[in-house]
Chain A
C-alpha cells in the first residue's frame, strides 16, 4: 500500500481538528477538558476496541450496544435487588457476556450465516433480556461505586484522569499488544484477508470466530460496567446506537470494513475525534447536538472514500496484469 497509512491520516485529522478547536476556544487545550473527554468516551473506546478485532476479521457485531444495556441493568439489579457483592456481580456478568459472544460466533461459524444478521438477532435478544430484568432506571448505591467514580489522578492544569479513563487506556494498550504481537492477532488479520486462505494455512477458523466474538462481547460487558460507574445506575435502554458510533470510530480509525487491515490505535484516535466533535459543539453552545451526527456522517464518508481510493491504488497493478492477459 502506497502513500500515507490510514492511521496517519486519522492522526493528522485529529491534530488539525484539535488545533482548530484550540484556536477558537483556547480553553479546549487544557488537561481538564482532555481528562473529561477521556472519561466521557471511556465506554465508547472500550467497545470500539472489540469492534476493531471483529471488523479486521471480516465480521461485524451489532449487538454491543444491547450488551452494554444488559450489563448495566444486570449489575444494578444484582447489587441493589438481589444483594450480590459487586465483584461477584461483575464476574457473573462478564462470564454471561463472554458466553453470549461465543454463542454468536459459534452460530456464525457452524451454520455459515452472515455475521450481520446473527448479531442483529443477538442485539434483539440482549435488549429484550435487559427489558425482562427491569424497564426502569435502577440507581446503584454500593460504596464501591462512589469510591471508583471519585478516584482520579490529579494532572497538572486541573485535569483529572479518572479510574474509568485509566481502564479504557489500559484496554487500548492491551488490545494493541494483543493484535500486533500475539498469534491470536495475526490470525485475526489472516481471517479478514481471506477465510479460505487462513484455513488452508492451518488457522482454526471456527475457534477463532468464536474467540473474536467472545472478545467483542466481553469488552462490551466491561464497557457496560464502566458505563454503570459513569452513571451510577443501570438502565435497560442505555447505550442505544453505540454499535453505530463504534463502527464509525473503527472506520474513521482507518480499519478496512472488508477486513484484513486496521489497528487498535487508529480506532482509539477515531473515538477521540468523535469526542472532539462533541466537545467542540458543547463549547460553541449555539450549535445543536444533531450536528454531531451530521459531522460524524461526513467524516465517515470522507474516510470511506479515502479507503476506497487507497484500495484501488493498491490493486491497480494486479488489475492491469489481469487486463493484459485477457
Chain B
C-alpha cells in the first residue's frame, strides 16, 4: 500500500514541482525562508497560508464528491460562519465564538445532507438552494455591513503562529491528519467509496448509505465553517458579499486536480489538499510574475480542461488509437 500511494499521486507531485520550479524562475527568492518573532516567513509559507481556506474546503468537498455528490454551498457557509464569528468575537470568548460558527456550519451541512439523503434531491440542486439563500442569511447576520472586530484571540487564529507555522496552516494540517485517521483508519473510507460507487448495491450490502451521505455533508459544512472563521480572522472582519465567493469552484477544482473521480467512488484526502496547494502555487506565481491577477482565471480554465481530458476514458482511448495508427503507418 505504501508503495502504491506515491504512484497514484505522482502526476500531482510532478505538477507541483514543475509549478514551483516556474515560480522559482519568476521570483528568485521564492524558496527563501526566515524566522521572525517565532513565525516563518517567505513565499512558500505564504502559499500554504493563503491556500489554507481552499485546502479545508477541499477536505470536506472530496468526501462529498466521493459519494457522487457535490456541495455548491461551501462559499455561502463560509460567509455565514465568518459573519457569526465576527459579530460574536468582541462580546464572547473564543470557545463560544468557535462553537457558534462551527455549529452553524454543522446545521448547514445537516440541511444539505437532509435534502440529498432523505428527500433524495440531486446534490447540485439541493446545495444550490443554500448557495443562493446562504449569502442572504449571512447578510442578514451582518445587517449588510462589513463587521469588523478586534478580539486578539480570533485574530490569532488568522495571523498567529504555532511552532513557527501560521495557525491556519497548522489547523489545516490538523484537520487533514484527523480526517485521514478517521476515514482511512477505519472502514469509513471504504463505506464512503462504496456509497459513491453504487449507492443501491451498497444499500443492499448493508451499508448505511443515507447515514454516510448525511455524514459527509455535515463534515463538509464544518470544514467550510472553519475555513470561514479563518478567512474572517485573516482580514479581521466579515464581508458577507465577498467571503468565500467562488471558492466552491476552487474547492471542486482542487478535488478534480487531486485525481478524485467526479463520478464518485475513488478519492484521496491528501491529494485533494495537494490540489488546493497546486492552485494556490499557481495563483501566487502569477502574482509574483507581475502579470495581472486576471490571468488566474484563464490559467485555471486551462488546467481544468487539461485535467479533465486526461481523466476522460475517451481521451486515453483516442490517444491510444492515434498511436496505433501511427505505428501501423510506420
Contacts and interface: CB of A to CB of B under 8 A. Distances in A.
The dominant DSSP class at the A interface is helix
A297 B297 contact: no
Contact of B301 (A110, A125, A135): A125
Contact of A112 (B70, B120, B296, B312): B312
A145 interface: no
Contacts of B139: 288, 290, 293
B297 A120 contact: no
Interface stretch (B94-102, B121-129, B163-171): B121-129
Contacts of A308: 119-121
A283 interface: no
Given A128-B295, A135-B292, A308-B121, A117 B132 contact: no
Nearest to A62: B249
A60 B314 CA distance: 21
B130 interface: yes
| Interface of B, helix, strand, loop or mixed by DSSP | helix
A211 interface: no
A247 interface: yes
Nearest to B294: A131
A304 B125 contact: yes
Interface in A92-124: 107, 110-114, 116-118, 120-124
Contacts of A107: 305
B314 A128 contact: no
Nearest to A124: B301
Contacts of B134: 297
B125 A251 contact: yes
Given A117-B308, A135-B294, A308-B121, A291 B300 contact: no
Given A128-B301, A288-B144, A293-B133, 11 more contacts: A113-B308, A117-B252, A124-B304, A125-B301, A128-B296, A129-B298, A132-B294, A135-B292, A257-B124, A297-B130, A308-B120
A258 B126 CA distance: 12
A305 interface: yes
A301 interface: yes
B77 interface: no
Interface-central residue, A60, A128, A305, by most chain B CB under 10 Å? A128
B136 interface: yes
In order of increasing CB-CB distance, the 10 nearest A-B pairs are A297-B133, A293-B136, A131-B294, A128-B297, A128-B298, A124-B301, A290-B139, A125-B301, A294-B136, A290-B136
